[in-house]
Amino acid sequence: MIILFVLATVFQTAKAQTMKYNSLDKLLQKHVNSLGEVNYKTILTDKQLLQSSLDEFTKNQPKDSWSKNETLSYWINAYNAFTIKLIIDNYPVKSIKDIKNPWDQEFIPIGKNPMSLSEIEHEILRKMNEPRIHFAIVCASVSCPKLLNEAYVPSKLDLQLTVATEEFLADKNRNEISQNNIEISKIFSWFSKDFTQNGTLIDFLNDYSEIEISPNAKKSYKDYNWDLNE
């Protein structure tokens, strides 16, 4: 009985880690450059690979036995993959905001009922108390964080999220930071609650910024460019 229990436990653990994101990783490496720009035109000619990427999520849904990093990786990747599908289904389009109710469309076949991007972001990811997800999930727009051209994976998720956050803050097109003045992305305004759970917004920024920001720095927000990230 003990041997059977151990074998069952090992099997369950292995099963929980079968999500490899091979197709998604191939899709991103093939069609997303190092700047996070997406070649939607070439994805249109590679729909089989896109569908294989999406099928990975439908066939391997999250389990209670998964670790936090496994669950975070799954939903970050799902958000990004199905955002690409949304754009492809409506391409050519100049902006995701030109699509009717882009974040509330229930078109994602995960779970008992189809999900929306909004549900993944607000009902799942934001409730996992990891504010760096905002620099990993990408809403197909120029002012969004860049789309990573590889899948997020549990084994290096912390590093991937840290690098994504640091690169986003260092990008002067998205944030301009000095010691006494910051002009930052509206992401920090829209989701301010997420960034102030363990201190002030400045505290959070200083954890990832190359420049030490004064607690009394003047703060303003950049205009958000919703043009497509291509």
What is the pLDDT at residue 168? 98
Least confident of 18-22, 152-156, 163-167: 18-22
The reported pLDDT for the residue numbered 64 is: 93
pLDDT at 175: 98
Average pLDDT over residues 12-24: 69
Question: What is the enclosing helix (H) or strand (E) of 28?
Answer: helix 22-31
Cβ atoms < 10 Å from Cβ of 219: 15
Average pLDDT over residues 19-30: 96
CB 173 within 8 A of CB 37: no
**Which amino acid is located at 176 in the chain?**
E
What are 95-118's pLDDT values in tens digits? 999 999 999 999 999 999 999 999
At 120, the pLDDT band (50, 70, 90 cuts) reads very high
In sequence order, the 6+-apart residues with CB closer than 8 A to the CB of 16 are 63, 65, 66, 67, 70
Confidence tier at 19 by pLDDT (50, 70, 90) = confident
Q: Is the pLDDT of residue 41 over 90?
A: yes
Residue 15 pLDDT class (50, 70, 90 cuts): very low
CA angle 158-17-52, nearest 5°? 95
Give the number of other Cβ atoms within 10 Å of residue 208's Cβ. Answer: 18
The answer, yes or no, to whether residue 18 has pLDDT greater than 80, is no
* Sole residue written with tokens 């209670």: 64
Strand intervals (E) in 67-217? 176-177, 181-184
Beta bridge partners of 95: 227
> What is the residue-averaged pLDDT of the chain?
93
**Distance of alpha carbon 201 from alpha carbon 207, whole angstroms:** 10
Strand segments, DSSP code E, in the chain are 176-177, 181-184, 218-221
Quick check: 161 and 135 in contact, CB under 8 A? Answer: yes
Distance CA 129, CA 74 (A): 15
Q: What CA–CA distance (Å, rounded) separates 220 from 41? A: 36
pLDDT band at 13 (very low <50, low <70, confident <90, very high): very low
CB atoms within 10 A of CB 176: 13
